[in-house]
Homo-oligomer: A and B are copies of this chain.
Amino acid sequence: MRAVTFQAPGEVLVQDVPEPELSDPGDAIVRIEATGVCGSDLHIYHGRVKIEPGFTIGHEYVGTVLAVGEAVQSVRVGDRVLGCFQTACGRCFFCRHGWFHKCDSSRTFGHGATLGSLQGTQAEQALIPNAELVLRKIPAGMSDDAALFAGDVMGTGYHAVLHSGLRPGDVAAVLGLGPVGLCAVQAAKAAGAARVIAIDTVPERLAIAESFGAQAVHLTESDPRAAAREATEGRGVDVCIDAVGHPSAFDLALRMTRKCGTVQAIGVYAERAEVHLGLLWIKSLHVCAGHANVIAHVDRVLAMMSAGLLDPGPLVTHHMSLEEAPEAYALYDRREALKIVLTP
């Protein structure tokens, strides 16, 4: 079958690879009908995430179930399904606490040996381990484009909001309006934020956030901290979601958030950085970080998408064929797209 493989930094290839086979009673095989290109894929593309040349990449997917192992009952052959970007065992210490994203034997699609040697989904077919945890049927009437988001980017925006402790009527800020940040804007509005201050430097992204009901504030041409104060009688926002993953964003988040508020860092941090611990301390802030627990949230995310409360549709800027993957990556790398959907 055809699949997109990593070759070298800046180089992906569409090539023939072996079809997957069931190897465990909990496995399923899905015929991929749409698969996204995500910011995480760009980390691989740039060589920042180590991965073996020839490994199939991609982790956002919808499709039709081709085969299931004997332990799989929640989905059946022929079902249209979407899936989460990672698997979990369902039995370890972390899974028993519901922290599926930190499962001791979790595997992430398309990230090579580092994250469990699980072939990616930018291919004609994919093997899905522990399918009952990972797959969900696509609700009636939902497009592939939308469903694609539930198990990755929208699930991530939802996670950021849920873990921020936002209560209906709170004021939230979202820093960084890439796909995750924009999904967090939607999720915060849908969860009852009285106001969402959405911050970025790209006018197009600010405009999308505004169309989602946020108050768009340019990072440098306007004054995000003043906007936070103005919206809260001077206190600062109740919760601040950092969807950037850069120390300057983290610092701004600490400054914009009121005493006893929460900074939720969904943006990826991988290194050491200078942090104003004094600010964190004197304001009695809470900080939570890390990638999303999508397996835990995907049912509710789907329910909200079905109800029209979350709608990733406006984020899809490009449709291309799987064979065009090299062009898609180049285009995404030039920041000309928010979300590209590939069709095998």
Give the distance in Å from the alpha carbon of A90 to the alpha carbon of B297 in the complex: 16
Q: Which of A153-203 contact B (CB under 8 A)?
A: 158, 161-162, 167-171, 187, 190-192, 194-195
A91 touches which of B90, B168, B271 (Cβ 8 Å) = B90
Q: In the bound complex, how far is the Cα of B94 from the Cα of A286, in angstroms?
A: 15
Known: A168-B300, A191-B168. A281 touches B268 (CB 8 A): yes
Which of chain B's residues have a CB closer than 8 A to the CB of A300? Answer: 167-170, 194
**A97 x B98 contact (CB < 8 A):** yes
Closest Cβ of chain B to A160, distance in Å, is 12
- In the complex the two chains form, is A192's CB within 8 Å of B309's CB? yes
Write out the residue numbers on chain B whose beta carbons fall within 8 Å of the beta carbon of A71: 24
Set of chain B residues within 8 Å of A299, measured between Cβ atoms: 93, 96, 169
Residue on B with the closest CB to A238?
Answer: B300
Given A192-B192, A283-B290, A284-B291, 14 more A-B residue pairs with CB atoms under 8 Å apart are: A94-B260, A96-B295, A97-B98, A98-B98, A168-B190, A168-B304, A169-B303, A194-B300, A269-B281, A270-B282, A271-B276, A272-B276, A275-B275, A286-B286
The answer to whether B191 touches A191, judged by C-beta atoms less than 8 angstroms apart, is yes
C-alpha gap A275/B278 in the complex (Å): 12
Binding site for B on A (CB under 8 A): 24-25, 71, 74, 90-102, 130, 132-133, 158, 161-162, 167-171, 187, 190-192, 194-195, 233, 235, 247, 250, 259-260, 265, 268-278, 280-291, 295-297, 299-304, 306-307, 309
Q: How far is the CA of A28 from the CA of B168 in the complex (A)?
A: 29
Residue of B at shortest CB range from A292? B284
Complex CA–CA separation, A74 to B94 (angstroms): 14
Chain B residue numbers with a CB within 8 Å of A297 are 169
Q: For residue A276, which residues in chain B have a CB less than 8 angstroms away from its CB?
A: 271-272
Q: Which of B167, B272, B303, B307 contacts A277 (CB 8 A)?
A: B272
Which B residue's beta carbon lies closest to that of A246? Answer: B277
Residues of chain B lying within 8 A (CB to CB) of residue A187: 168
- Bound Cα distance A259, B273 (Å): 20
A195–B270 CB distance below 8 A: no
* In-complex Cβ contact of A282 among B93, B272, B290, B303 (8 A): B290
Chain B residues with CB below 8 A from A306, complex form: 194
A277 and chain B: residue at smallest CB distance = B269
Known: A97-B98, A168-B162, A299-B93. A270 touches B260 (CB 8 A): no
- A170, A192, A289, A307, most chain B CB atoms within 10 A: A192
In the complex the two chains form, is A162's CB within 8 Å of B167's CB? Answer: yes
| Cβ contacts under 8 Å, A250 to chain B | 277
Q: Which residues of B contact A274 (CB under 8 A)?
A: 272-275
**With contact pairs A99-B259, A278-B269 given, residues A309 and B132 touching in the complex (Cβ less than 8 Å):** no
Which residue of B260, B268, B269 contacts A99 across the interface (Cβ within 8 Å)? Answer: B260
Per the bound structure, the CA–CA distance linking A162 and B191 in Å amounts to 12
> Known: A167-B162, A284-B99, A306-B194. Is A273-B272 also a contact (CB below 8 A)?
no
A293 CB to nearest B CB, Å? 8
